[in-house]
Chain A
């Protein structure tokens, strides 16, 4: 099984800050099979980034994804109040499909 470890599990940042979340895989995965999701409190998750770096239609351009192999990152270039959420990475390279443990983002 491919384990995904996200860091940090929690972060607190100010509006306008640049935020980076890391997702490390226990074994190499194709970048085509890595996605990022945002889950706002009480809501279902929504996709932000897929194929490691492709921005989902309608998602603000302050979100970006990068990485390959075993290390991937999600960056929010300038944090906004509405970005209060938990963020998850996911691999769909092999079964069982797996999610990272999540990164909860708080606005200072």
Chain B
């Protein structure tokens, strides 16, 4: 069974940093393009970032570019999202997902990031 498990969420003050992790199992991780999507409380889905199979290509939403960094460690089957200069509006559940065959599937269960003083 393919499984993605996010961790690293929590409460952080504005301007602070947090690193999210997404551990994958049940798939050939090094063949997978991985992505992060977030969902603010009561709001819709917002794509955040994507990283290629080898980690040499990355793309970001405008809201994330310059503050967030996506990376991966294929030896650990894990993708990361380093988030710096966090803002109140970054408060959301962050999901990781595998992007393959023109779809995001599967998704992890999500990890909640709360930015508040």
> A residues within 8 Å of B by Cβ?
32-33, 35, 37, 39, 44-47, 50-51, 56, 86, 88, 90, 92, 95-102
Contact = CB atoms under 8 A, between A and B. Distances in A.
Nearest to A34: B102
Contact of B105 (A33, A56, A100, A102): A56
Interface SS of B by simple majority: strand
A90 B34 CA distance: 16
Interface size class of B (residues with CB under 8 A): 20 to 34
A33 B101 CA distance: 9
Contacts of A39: 45
Contact of B44 (A47, A95, A99): A99
Given A37-B104, A99-B46, 12 more contacts: A33-B102, A37-B45, A44-B108, A45-B95, A46-B106, A47-B105, A50-B102, A88-B45, A90-B45, A95-B59, A99-B44, A99-B47
Interface SS of A by simple majority: mixed
Contacts of A100: 44
Interface string B56-74: 0001011000000000000
A88 B43 CA distance: 12
Contacts of A32: 102
Contacts of B102: 32-33, 35, 50-51, 92
A88 B39 CA distance: 12
Interface string B3-19: 00000000000000000
A44 B110 contact: yes
The 6 A-B residue pairs with the shortest CB-CB distance, nearest first, are A50-B103, A97-B47, A44-B107, A99-B45, A47-B105, A102-B44
B24 interface: no
B81 interface: no
A50 B101 contact: yes
A45 B102 CA distance: 15
Contacts of B99: 92
